[in-house]
Every structure is written in C-alpha cells, then in structure tokens.
Amino acid sequence: MSDPQGWIPGDPRSRPTPEHIVTGLKGTDAGGEDLVQLLTPEGVRVPDERFESYAADIDEAMLKDLYRDMVLVRRADREGNALQRQGQLGIWVPLLGQEAAQIGAGRALEPQDMAFPSYREHGVAWCRGIDPTDLLGIFRGTDHGSWDPLEKRFHLYTIVIGNQCLNATGYAMGQVFDSRVGGADTGTTREATMCFFGDGATSQGDVHEGFVWAAAYDAPVVFYCQNNQWAISVPLEKQTRVPLYQRARGYGFPGIRVDGNDVLACLAVSRWALAECRSGNGPVLVEAFTYRMDSHTTSDDASRYRLADEVELWKLKDPIERVRVNLVREHGVEPEFFADVDAEADALAERLRAFCRAMPDPSPDRIFSEVYADLSPQVEAQKAEYLAYRESFAESIGSEA
Amino acid sequence: MPQMTIAKALGEGLRAAMDKDPKVLIMGEDVGKLGGVFRVTDGLQKDFGEQRVLDTPLSESGIIGTAVGLAIRGYRPVCEIQFDGFVFPGYDQIVSQLAKVRFRSQGKVPMPVVVRIPFGGGIGAVEHHSESPESLFAHVAGLKVVACSNAEDAYWMIQQAIETDDPVIFFEPKRRYWEKAEVSVAQPPAPLFSSRVLRPGGQVTVACYGPLVKTCLEAATAAEAEGLDLEVIDLRALSPLDLGPVFESVRRTGHLVVVSEAPSESSVTAEVAARVQQECFFSLEAPVLRVTGFDTPYPPAKCEEDFLPDLDRVLDAVDRSLAW
Ligand SMILES: Cc1ncc(C[n+]2csc(CCOP(=O)(O)OP(=O)(O)O)c2C)c(N)n1
Ligand SMILES: [Mg+2]
C-alpha cells in the first residue's frame, strides 16, 4: 500500500521519506489531477468544464489588465526588497511568484465584499485600491497599516498566523445576520468575505476553528489558502498528509485546488467560490497551489533549507510569463503594449522610492493615541509626563548649544 | 574562557543539556534545519537528529500541548516560541495544563518543560515581534519565569532551567543576542532562581532584568562620571523573585529605581515595588520609582526609541529619587 520510495505528492496512500522532506526534493510542482487550470505554463488557453463560465467575459482587454496588474505588483514587490536592502525599510515580505494567486482572487472581489489578509497580500491590497505606498509604513515602522480597513473593505495585515480566519468568519456571520447573503442578486446587495492565509497557517487552531464556525453558521467565507509550499523553512509535508483542499470535506464544505500561477483559473475559481458564498452555500476552501519564489522575508535565507533546483523548476511556471505568451500568441498583442506596461512599472517603482525616502517619522504622540475609545487617565498622564520630559531634554540641548 | 554571543551561549547550553540527558528534546518552528530564526539551535538537529530536534507544524498550542504530553511520558522538552508576540496561541496550554499538572496530580506528574521566548524591542521589527509579556507568566501560579541578560548567564541558566522539575518560561533578550562576553564553562555563577548584584554601589539601587541590564550598567557608568554611585542588580528570576539582595541594597541606599521594557500596570516591576516598600519602608528615602514601557500596545518601530527606557530615562529617575 504505502511504498515510501514511490511517494506521489498529494496521494494520501503514499508518504514521503525523510529524505524527500529534508532535501526539499518534494516534487512540489505537481499539482495533481484535481488542479483547476485555464492557462498552461506554456501560455495555452485550455477549457475547463466547471469553471469556463466564470472566465467567459475575459477578453483581450481584460487579460491585458490582469497582465498589467501582475507586472505592477511584482515591480512594487521588487522595489520593496530593494528599499529594505538600502536601509529604507526594516523588512519586506516578498510576494514574488504569487502574483496570479493574489490578482486572480483580488479581481474576483466585488466592492461590497470584505477581505482579511495575512502579511504577504500586496497583490490583493492593490486590487482593493490600496496604493503600494500605503503598505510601506508597516515595513518601515511608521504605522501598523495606514489604510482605513472599513472604507477599503480590506482589513489590516495580520501577522499572528491564523488569527484572521476567525475574524473573517465573524465578519461573515455578520453578513448573514444583516441579510446580505442569499435572496435576490442585484449585483451589489449580496456580500461575501475572503480570508487569506498560508499553508503553514493551516496547522493553527484558529484556522481549524474558523472552518468549524463558518460551517456552523453557513458563513459566506472563501478561505483562500495560498499554498506556496513553505512556511519559512518548514515544508508542506510537516503540516499535512493530504492535499490541503481535501481537508474541507471533513468540515462539510467544498474544497478546490487551483493552479495558483494561473491568473485566469484563480479568477474563475474565486468568482465561483464567492458566488457560492453570496448565494448562501458558503463557506468554501480554495487552495491556490503556488510557490514562494523568494526567501520568506528579507531577513531569511532560503538557501539554508531548500534546493535551488526546486526554484528553477517553478520558474518554468511563472505566472506572468504565461499570460505574456498567451497575449502574443493567441491575441497578437504587439511589443508596444508590453513596453508601455514596463514603463508604467518603472514609474511606479520610482514613485515608491521617492515616497519611501520622504516618509516622516511618526511623532511620539502616536504611542499614546487610540489605545482606548475613551481617553484613559493613566495613559494620558504617562503621555503628558513623557512629552514634558522630552521637551525638557530639547530645552537643555538647546541651552547647551 | 571562551568569548560567546548570547545566541551562541544559549546554543552551547542546549547542546550541553542534550549531551547530558537523552530525554531533553528541542521543539519549535524552524528550529531544526534552519537552526531557528536567530540561529540559537544552529547545528543541533544535524548532531542530535530529527527525533531530538523537532521542526514542528506551525502551531504554538501544539508545541506546548504536546510538550506537556511528552513531559508526562518522561521527556524534558525545550520549546522555542519564535517571537514574544506568538506565544499566545499556546497561552491556554501554558496556563491551563503546563502550570497546573503538578498541582492537580499532587506531585505525581512533574512538568520539566522549558519555554524559550525571545523578548523585548529595539530591533526595528514589525508588530508582535517586540513585546515584553513576562508579567503575564509571572502572574500564573505553577510557572517559574527567568530572564537572562548576558552570555554567561545564558549558557548556565538554560541548563539550570532544563534541570528544573517545574515549567520554566525562559526569556531571552533578543536585541542583545549578538553581544559577546566571556563565558566560564566550568561551573554556574549562581543558582537559577537568584538575583545578582552586577555592580556594587552606595547611593541608588537600580533593579532590572533582560535587555535593560546593559542599559542600566551603562547608566551607572555615566552616573559615575557625575560622581553618582549606583548599585545595579540583575533580577534574573522574575518568578519566584529573589529580592533578598534588593532589600539588603535598599536598606543601604534608601533609593530604588526598577527598570523594565514591559508596561508598568500589574507587572513584575509593580511586584518589586510593592514588596520593597513593605520590607524596607523605614529605609526608603523616596518612593520606589519605575522606568518602564508605557501602558500602551508596543508602538510602530519608528516610535520605539521613545517607548523603550534608555540610559537618560534611568538617570532621570535616579535624579528624581535623590531629589525627593
Ligand atoms: C502565531 C505565529 N507563530 C509564528 C509566527 C512566525 N512566522 C511568521 S510567517 C511564518 C510561516 C508562515 O507560513 P505560511 O502560513 O505558509 O505563510 P507564508 O509565509 O508562506 O505566506 C511563521 C512561522 C507568526 N507570525 N505567528
Ligand atoms: Mg507558505
């Protein structure tokens, strides 16, 4: 039955040997036969019976838009890395390789939907109308997220792994209680929630509890797991024996695995999952099967725990390249379009650099502000005392000069 | 005597404990192949194998909860929590099981588990990576809580913690991980649950622990230049507190400043202040003053210089105490 030598990724009857795990030789590029794909790594558009209708409106113009989105967020991401290297940011969390998974999901969201990100969702943020400059403060250390989560309908980044899965579920329960689920579809009245987390996160109790609660209340949550194969240095095999999408079954809702490097498939599957939720059939688990092409963060060194070969393998599945090839081959798009997008990306990078360098440090007031709805006498006293102390310092420095 | 960073000293201490007792296990996220995000466990999995150094699934409740089970089975697990702000998914297991199994079983089941937590700020990190939650553990009966401040203590205290038959929450001053000092590997300088006078002095007692010990020693050096003589005590054990040396010191100086990065409300510093005023009431010439983080969430990193007690704030408190 279980032949450890003949390990088939995704097949629960076979198990990886320690060598498979230790050397990182996991054959992780194989998504298995259940993988939903609309655009092959070679850029060939392939039909999919179940999800074709959710991609029917994707014409050349829209495909170009998706391409543009991915190129721009990748460029912003690379600039984030560079700004960290230049000492402008304390850390950067790269999304490299996950552009399709994020743009596909982000573009499926309607304005009235809500999203709960983890900390790598720069592409989803982009789709929610959050300018990349608004992300910089988190990594520069000037704020914990500068956008208005309620206005953008995109919650703050959540760093404690898994926490947001329960928060998203609670939000979605509210959508049910407010009668925003099911009923007639006018296009804007029905809502859903999308919750983003990683493969490692699936081991956390909060994620499990989120699944249980969402099922118990038919909460309209799309649990969108970006399986990028790694949780820092820990490979997927340490978190699960079965493919992650199959876990949904145990909770009583559908799970589906989509090629996370295929923006069309991610968009179509996300649209389907959100529609399920809006109509009252939620929750849904989507596993976007992708790969973290860079280190975990700029503080990490992936060469300590995974083989370059694995990264090389995934380069062949690049999410942007396949769209470019498709645009050229199947739509005859001219080089001029790509040059324009590249120029736009250059301009975005330039804008990010300039913005980052000019970012002011927060004033010490920030420490004490909005700790409570009512001013706390204790915190106010500490603030007054500290600011006076600081002031006295400035004076004494002034008088010495 | 070899020179070691605190990170290296902890690793060497863990290695010595594992050599000595085959029941000692290390478990945590990324502790094996990667050697931990701070490289404290670097090389241990290679030398001791995957059954003794476990790269665990991503779940702190799992790490602590299974450590409790392993301890019931006779193992001595050393759990690593990656950053201070990530201990909370495991807090339930720590408070409900780890802290109470001995009491509930009336001593039949000891809980020799160490939970290592890098703590404190000053590294310019994003949220949840700079917190000082030690008081949340000191408040819990059944747990012992210690904090090391230098390489020699790191090397010895981690071994002593592992030898302890009670759960020990072991705080490591992450912003000092890379600071080097000489480490005497011959014998431990002091028992685990003891405070130590690191710098004798006669005018003001300064009690501190963890990352701010260095700050306070620097403050004492700066004060000396102004003719002020500070006694600096590294508390080391936060629960149980070893306040004998502090009482003795305060009876001589009449002045006490307690220093910590953690918020002040219901904290270790509050406990020290309360006990000192009770024991040394007639010796005190000024109220016990505290220099701490504010009673706010840890701020964005660009504000942390304002949040964290520094040399000037310590000296300001010293001056205020003397001027009382
Ligand atoms: C509760 C908690 N424990 C540990 C960490 C440290 N940590 C940050 S990211 C990470 C790995 C997450 O992996 P995964 O869920 O796969 O997401 P990815 O980073 O791959 O996007 C860990 C262990 C954390 N942020 N929160
Ligand atoms: Mg991952």
Mean pLDDT within B21-37: 98
Does residue B91 sit at the A interface (CB-CB below 8 Å)?
A: no
H/E element, B177 = none
For residue B94, what are the contacts with CB-CB under 8 A and spacing of at least 6? Answer: B64, B87, B115, B137, B140, B143, B167, B169
Give yes or no for residue A384 having a pLDDT over 50: yes
Q: Are residues A267 and A119 in the same domain?
A: yes
Residue B289: per-residue pLDDT: 98
- Is the preceding peptide bond at A283 cis, omega within 30 degrees of 0? yes
Residue A181: per-residue pLDDT: 96
Interface-testing mutation among A238, A297, A367, with chain B (most B C-beta atoms within 10 A): A367
Pairing of strands A193-198, A114-116: parallel
Q: Are residues A87 and A65 in the same domain?
A: yes
Per residue in B201-259, pLDDT (tens digit) is: 999 999 999 999 999 999 999 999 999 999 999 999 999 999 999 999 999 999 999 99
Counts for chain B of helices (H) and strands (E), in that order: 12, 14
Give B139-156 as a 3 state SS string. CCCCCEEEECCCHHHHHH
Q: Is residue A212 part of a domain?
A: yes
Q: Which CATH number is A125's domain given? A: 3.40.50.970
Cα A159 to ligand 1 centroid, rounded to whole Å: 8
Does residue B185 sit at the A interface (CB-CB below 8 Å)?
A: no
Q: For A205, name the nearest residue in chain B, comparing CA atoms only.
A: B59
pLDDT, greater one: B51 or A26:
B51
Residue A243 distance to chain B (closest CA, Å): 15
Q: Are residues A146 and A96 in the same domain?
A: yes
Residue A2: per-residue pLDDT: 39
What residue type is A223 in one-letter code? F
Residue A339: per-residue pLDDT: 98
Q: How far is Cα B25 from Cα B38, in angstroms, rounded to an integer? A: 18
Q: How far is Cα A270 from Cα A381, in angstroms, rounded to an integer? A: 50
Four-residue CA torsion sign, A127, A128, A130, A136: negative
Q: Are residues A387 and A310 in the same domain?
A: no
* Matching residue, tokens 């956008």: A147
Cα A213 to ligand 1 centroid, rounded to whole Å: 22
Give yes or no for residue A195 having a pLDDT over 50: yes
- Number of residues that make up chain A: 401
Distances (CA, A) of B63 to A42, A56, A237, B167, B231: 43, 47, 17, 14, 40
- Is the preceding peptide bond at B118 cis, omega within 30 degrees of 0? no
- Number of residues that make up chain B: 324
Q: Is residue A347 part of a domain?
A: yes
Does residue B274 sit at the A interface (CB-CB below 8 Å)?
A: no
Give yes or no for residue B183 having a pLDDT over 50: yes
Q: Are residues A324 and A378 in the same domain?
A: no
Percent of chain A with pLDDT over 70: 91
Cβ(A161) – ligand 1 distance below 6 Å: yes
Residue A7: per-residue pLDDT: 60
Q: Are residues A266 and A329 in the same domain?
A: yes
Q: How many CB pairs under 8 A join A and B?
A: 123
Q: For B312, name the nearest residue in chain A, comparing CA atoms only.
A: A393
Q: Is residue A12 part of a domain?
A: no
Distances (CA, A) of A361 to A34, A92, A119, B120, B155: 49, 18, 22, 21, 38
Q: Are residues A387 and A324 in the same domain?
A: no
Q: Is the ipTM reported for this complex over the cut 0.90?
A: yes
Residue A1: per-residue pLDDT: 37
Q: Are residues A265 and A393 in the same domain?
A: no
pLDDT, greater one: A397 or A332:
A332
* Matching residue, tokens 């304390």: A90
Q: Is residue A8 part of a domain?
A: no
> How many alpha carbons lie under 13 Å from residue A350 in its C-beta half-sphere?
6
Strand partners, B207: B233, B258
Residue A395: pLDDT band with limits 50, 70, 90: confident
Nearest of A52, A124, A118, A83 to residue A348 by alpha carbon: A83
Does residue A14 sit at the B interface (CB-CB below 8 Å)?
A: no
Main-chain dihedrals φ then ψ at residue A136, nearest 5 degrees: -60, -35
Residue A400: per-residue pLDDT: 46
Q: Are residues A140 and A86 in the same domain?
A: yes
H/E element, B214 = helix B212-225
Residue A401: pLDDT band with limits 50, 70, 90: very low
Domain count, chain A: 2
Cβ(A228) – ligand 1 distance below 6 Å: yes
Mean pLDDT within A357-363: 97
Query: At CA A392, angle to CA A387 and CA A393, rounded to 5?
Result: 95
Percent of chain A with pLDDT over 90: 86
Residue A15: pLDDT band with limits 50, 70, 90: low
Q: How far is Cα B85 from Cα B267, in angstroms, rounded to an integer? A: 17
Per residue in B55-88, pLDDT (tens digit) is: 999 999 999 999 999 999 999 999 999 999 999 9
Radius of gyration of chain A (CA): 23
Q: Are residues A396 and A291 in the same domain?
A: no
Per residue in A74-93, pLDDT (tens digit) is: 999 999 999 999 999 999 99
Does residue B231 sit at the A interface (CB-CB below 8 Å)?
A: no
Distances (CA, A) of A49 to A36, A52, A322: 10, 6, 21
B232 within 8 A of B217, measured Cβ to Cβ: yes
Nearest of A310, A307, A265, A317 to residue A288 by alpha carbon: A265
Q: How far is Cα B21 from Cα B75, in angstroms, rounded to an integer? A: 10
Q: Is residue A132 part of a domain?
A: yes
Q: How far is Cα B111 from Cα B166, in angstroms, rounded to an integer? A: 5
Distances (CA, A) of B62 to B28, B72, B161: 10, 15, 21
Position in ligand 1 atom list of the atom nearest CA A202: 15
Which residues span the domain enclosing A117?
18-358
The answer to whether the CB atoms of A364 and B61 lie below 8 A apart is no
pLDDT, greater one: A283 or A15:
A283
Interhelix angle A133-140/A60-85, rounded to 10 degrees, is: 30
Q: Are residues A120 and A30 in the same domain?
A: yes
Q: Is residue A5 part of a domain?
A: no
Per residue in A226-236, pLDDT (tens digit) is: 999 999 999 99
Per-position DSSP letters for A277-345, written without gaps between them: HHTT---EEEEEE----S-SSTT--GGGTS-HHHHHHHHTT-HHHHHHHHHHHHH---HHHHHHHHHHH
- What is the pLDDT of chain B when averaged over all its residues? 98
Per-position DSSP letters for A119-144, written without gaps between them: S--HHHHHHTT--THHHHHHHHTS-S
| Domains located in chain B, CATH noted | 3-182 (3.40.50.970), 196-322 (3.40.50.920)
Q: Are residues A158 and A32 in the same domain?
A: yes
Q: How far is Cα B79 from Cα A98, in angstroms, rounded to an integer? A: 32
Residue A18: pLDDT band with limits 50, 70, 90: low
Cβ(B34) – ligand 1 distance below 6 Å: no
The answer to whether the CB atoms of B296 and A371 lie below 8 A apart is yes
| Diameter over CA atoms, chain A | 83
Q: What tokens does B282 get?
A: 């007639």
For residue A59, what are the contacts with CB-CB under 8 A and spacing of at least 6? Answer: none
